[in-house]
Amino acid sequence: MQGLYGAGIHKGTTTVGVVCKDGVALATDTRVTTGYFIAHKKGKKIHKIDDHLAMTIAGAVADAQNVVDILKANAALFKLTHKRPMPVASATRLAANLLFYNRYIPLLLQAIVAGVDTEGAHIFSLDPFGSVTEEEKFFSTGSGSPVALGILEDGFKENLTTEEAVPLVVRAVKAAMKRDAASGDSFDVAIIDKAGYRELTEEEKAKYVAT
Amino acid sequence: MAHEYPFIPGATTVGVVCKEGVILAAEKRVAYGYLVLSKAGKKVFKLTDKIGAACAGMVADMQMLAKEVAAYASLHTMETRRAASVNAVAKVMANILFERRLFPLLTQTIIGGVDDEGRRIVVLDPLGSLIPDKYACVGSGAEIATGVLESSYREDMTLEEAKELVIRSIKVATARDIQSGDGADFLIITGEGMKEEAVELK
């Protein structure tokens, strides 16, 4: 993906998502690269779509931000017209349709759509062509995903709470930050449960920095 | 960007947030490959009274883009009767860029300015990604300029300190990047307004 108009096309990323008993936990690194150049050290890769819905992005930033914008607008519209929050599967399907309709010139992004609805907590993964898979346990995208998946395979247990999952997703992302040169700098964590969407503050994240 | 496409001029373009405002700067060389076509290329643009843009890439594209965004910003101001925010201006530019995803405008842009929410800069790529930052460099000299900027940047810098740092980073970039040089244009934006300056790099 490097070399397509040279700039801003980043793929080097680590994002992870874990399905929990009471919600979902998401984490990403914050490094934004163009080729071997670190263009930004504090890039936002977890995006809130609605109070119960979020998306992590890896790939071309412009493409991903456009999909996020469309999803945000449609989630708000859905809530207004149907008087209930948009189901996670519906949001994922909408994004998948956007990706599939650009089949011949794909939107270069890998995404995790995660959230909580009446059916419970869900994590879906999306590829650039619009394939959708519902992940039952956890998922990871980006160049650091092999490292992160190793940690998740080892550390995941059934019926984790979001509070218990936070150290796991942080550990997965931090391991990938160490062994994947395209991931690094810092990390972001978000939790979605019945109470809604919440990002960990700098103080909350600080206790994991040393590990 | 310029390495892969010889028809795109290189550049060193810098944006910095400091205590009193925002500084945008770009050197003035327009070079196609090894040929210096102009020593007086202007790569910084006023978009509103308190928002500006500094660009790298195709000069025609950045000029048209800046004109269009400035027009949208003034329309927005007339319709809403208040000044456009930096975010709004950046988003309008991102939308224009993303609209042309299949035939992109080949520019990297740093939008910077002062609004009700404070001082901020945002970086855009040719496809229209939006990334806010405290300091940023784009263009063929970006790697070199970033090295200098990063080593000394502080958020609480005064305008004068920040300007000195930007000059230093562009100087180093022009010394090592063939496609950058010939002095620099500055756009200095504070709560009071915008000031344009040209600096000779010796």
Domain encompassing residue B124: 13-199
The answer on pLDDT for B23 being more than 70 is yes
B3: nearest CA partner in chain A = A6
Separation between Cα atoms, residue B109 and residue B44, nearest integer Å: 10
**Does any domain span residue B2?**
no
Q: Is residue B160 part of a domain?
A: yes
Two tokens at A156?
Answer: 């995941």
Q: How far is A43 from chain B (nearest CA, A)?
A: 7
- With pLDDT > 70 as the criterion, what percentage of chain B qualifies? 97
Query: Which residues in chain A are contacts of B1 at CB distance < 8 A?
Result: 5-7
How many contacts (CB atoms, under 8 Å) link A and B? 67
Whether B125 and A3 lie within 8 Å, measured CB to CB: no
Which stretches in chain A have pLDDT values below 50?
1-8
Per-residue pLDDT tens digits for A14-66: 999 999 999 999 999 999 998 889 999 999 999 999 999 999 999 999 999 99
Q: What is the CATH number of the domain that holds B91?
A: 3.60.20.10
Q: What is the pLDDT of residue A2?
A: 37
In chain A the domains, ranked by start, together with CATH numbers, are: 15-194 (3.60.20.10)
- Which tens digits make up the pLDDT trace of B131-160? 999 999 999 999 999 999 999 999 999 999
Structural domain tally of chain B? 1
DSSP B31-80: EETTEEEES----EEE-SSSEEEEEEE-HHHHHHHHHHHHHHHHHHHHHH
CB contact B176 to A (< 8 Å): no
The helix/strand/coil state of B125 is coil
- Whether B107 sits among the annotated catalytic residues: the reply is no
Amino acid letter at B4?
E
Nearest CB among B4, B123, B131 relative to A6 is that of: B4
What does the mean pLDDT of chain B come to? 94
Is there a contact between A167 and A208 (Cβ–Cβ < 8 Å)?
A: yes
Q: Is residue B7 part of a domain?
A: no
Check residue A171 and give its pLDDT. Answer: 95
Instruction: Return the bridge partners of B115, or none.
Output: B118
Specify if B56 maps to a domain.
yes
Name the packing angle between helices A145-155 and A162-179 (round to 10°).
140
In this complex, is the C-beta atom of A32 within 8 Å of any C-beta atom belonging to chain B? yes
Residues B167 and B162: their CA atoms lie apart, in Å, by: 9
Min Cα distance B61 → chain A (Å) is: 14
* One-letter amino acid for residue A75 of the chain: A
User: Looking at the complex, does the CB of residue A36 fall below 8 Å from at least one CB of chain B?
Assistant: no
CA–CA gap between residue B165 and residue B160 (Å, rounded)? 9
Any domain includes B89: yes
Q: Is B165 contained in some domain?
A: yes
pLDDT at residue number B194? 96
Evaluate whether residue B5 is within a structural domain: no
CA distance A121 to A23: 5
Identity of the amino acid at B195: K
- This prediction's pTM: 0.85
- Predicted local distance difference test score (pLDDT) of residue A5: 39
With CB atoms and an 8 Å threshold, state whether A62 touches B108. Answer: no
Amino acid at residue number B128: G
Examine residue B118 and state whether it is found in any structural domain, yes or no: yes
Task: Find the residue in B nearest to A42 (Cα).
Answer: B133
Q: What is the pLDDT of residue A7?
A: 45
